[in-house]
Amino acid sequence: MSIPNQSKISAQHVNVWYGAKQAIADVSLDFGQDHVTALIGPSGCGKSTFLRTLNRMNDTIAGAKVEGDITLDGENIYSPDMDVVQLRARVGMVFQKPNPFPKSIFENVAYGPRIHGLAANKPQLAEIVEKSLRRAGLWDEVKDRLTESGTALSGGQQQRLCIARAIAVDPEVILMDEPCSALDPIATAKIEELIHELKGRYAIVIVTHNMQQAARVSQRTAFFHLGTLVEYGATSDIFTNPRQERTKDYITGRYG
Amino acid sequence: MPLNDHTVKAFDEDIGQLRGLIAQMGGLAEHAIAAAMEALRRHDLESAREIVAGDKRIDALQIEVEQLAVRIIALRAPLADDLREVVAALKIAGVVERIGDYAKNIAKRVPMIESHGEIEPLSVLPAMSALAVQMVHDALDAFAARDATAAVEVCDRDRQVDDFYNSLFRVLVTHMMENPKTIGQVAQLLFIAKNLERVGDHATNIAEMIYFAATGTHMAERDRGDIPTS
């Protein structure tokens, strides 16, 4: 199957089971290289489960079974030849709660490049750390205290540190699972601004419960319901003129 | 189309209030046009004065609609059809306010037309007025019902008002040529006819907004007939 140029990750007929319970049913979605794609839907609709299939995070969950084709640049990520550690470097992830390592700010960012052998020497490593922290919009706030613990930062700073950590290994795709749900509005705005800055450099897929956030940060929106993909389209269309009744009821707050 | 209620009931109350204000404004504007034409027919100066004064009420309602719509957008962050409806309400309020202004304008001309009985074309104006007022009425009914089909029907009728105006224009110009004494008064009638023609246009605009609010697409460009002769 030919992959369109703009499609970075392509998921075709994906089914996911947790034991006997089917969490995702026949979902096909392509993610563009230059887009931020938002996955929205009520709790339990499968959006996070689907996100986690994109870098095989479900592998770590006992009883989870994934079927279907998911390709990154045309390469099947569930192929036995796929190096999962390598895959997760190429497809980075940022979680709901910031989870910095209990190490220094510097080490948090340096860890990935070091284990992946991305730096030949210390100055190069320092350069990667600075570049990553700058891209994550955190450098100016932490440059004088790189040796302090990452856990000493504020919640919003910790989340940007986690984004810097994901960026440090030079990923192609960044997955974000409700990255702002634990943050205050100002920290949220900074993350959203950061997503805007990162757009184009990385393909970004974000799961969010905040409809306004999906509208603000994404160019494409996919609405999930009961494990199925109900509607996928340009964000501006989904929020002004959704095609499906279920999408409309959900985004206008008439759900259920 | 039956719609589910919002999970947040206060949202439905806000939208209900917004629709109520639009309906109230529309009722007043509709009545003002009809009353102004009746005042013209009976040369009722007192009634004309009341209509001019009454326009303030429509203006005040427009401000209320604007405030409520802005509040809904700020506090409820409406999306999809809700958003389109609030935006439509905001625009419709502006248009209805204009219709009120036309009623006021017609009422202001009442004292300037004294010998109305002698001017034969005046008999055509009430029919034209009734048509335009009915369009406004039906457009607002379509808004209340979110009825795109009814909105299209209103638009289709604009052609009749335009035809009225175009034929009236010719008749009035002929009348002026034949009775130069009456030019001053007949010119007033011409303005009134133009105002009514504009009311029809505005009703059409309202209908187009309703169509967009209900369907999310713009009504296809329609043939608006000949450009009026002015």
In a domain, A49, yes or no: yes
Q: Of B123 and A98, which is predicted with more confidence?
A: A98
- Is A1 a domain residue? no
pLDDT along chain A (256 residues), means of 10: 65 95 95 94 93 92 92 94 92 93 96 92 95 93 95 94 94 95 88 92 94 94 96 94 93 81
Q: Is A247 domain-assigned? A: yes
pLDDT of residue A234: 95
Residue A256 belongs to some domain of the structure:
no
B182: confidence class by pLDDT, cuts 50, 70, 90: confident
What is the pLDDT at residue B104? 97
CA distance B18 to B70: 11
Look at chain A and report how many structural domains it folds into. 1
User: What is the chain B residue with the closest CA to A235?
Assistant: B80
Residue B5 confidence class, pLDDT cut points 50, 70, 90: confident
State the amino acid at position B226 in one-letter form.
D
Which CATH number is A105's domain given?
3.40.50.300
Q: What is the pLDDT of residue B115?
A: 64
Cβ contacts (< 8 Å) between B75 and chain A: which residues?
Answer: none
pLDDT bin (cut points 50, 70, 90) of residue B121 is: low
CB contact under 8 A, B77 and A240: no
Domain presence at residue A2: no
* pLDDT number for residue A231: 96
Listing DSSP states for B184-220 in one string gives HHHHHHHHHHHHHHHHHHHHHHHHHHHHHHHHSSPPP
Domains and CATH numbers, chain B: 9-215 (1.20.58.220)
| Identity at B88, one-letter amino acid code | A
Contact call for residues B28 and B133 (beta carbons, < 8 A): no
Decide if pLDDT at B109 tops 80. Answer: yes
Q: Which residue has the tokens 């034949």?
A: B178
A185 touches chain B (CB under 8 A): no
> Residue B210 carries which side chain, given as an amino acid letter?
I
For the cut 60, the answer to whether the pLDDT of residue B224 exceeds it is no
Q: Is B217 left (phi over 0), alpha (psi -120 to 50) or beta?
A: beta
Average pLDDT, chain B: 89
| Contact yes or no for A156/A187 (Cβ under 8 A) | yes
Whether residue B33 is predicted with pLDDT greater than 90 in this model: the reply is yes
Mean pLDDT of B202-215: 94
Residue B220, pLDDT score: 73
Is the CA virtual torsion B16, B17, B18, B21 positive or negative? positive
Question: How close, in Å, is residue B82 to chain A by CA atoms?
Answer: 7
B12 touches chain A (CB under 8 A): no
Please state, for a pLDDT cut of 70, what percent of chain B lies above it: 91
Task: Give me the domain span that covers residue A54.
Answer: 7-251
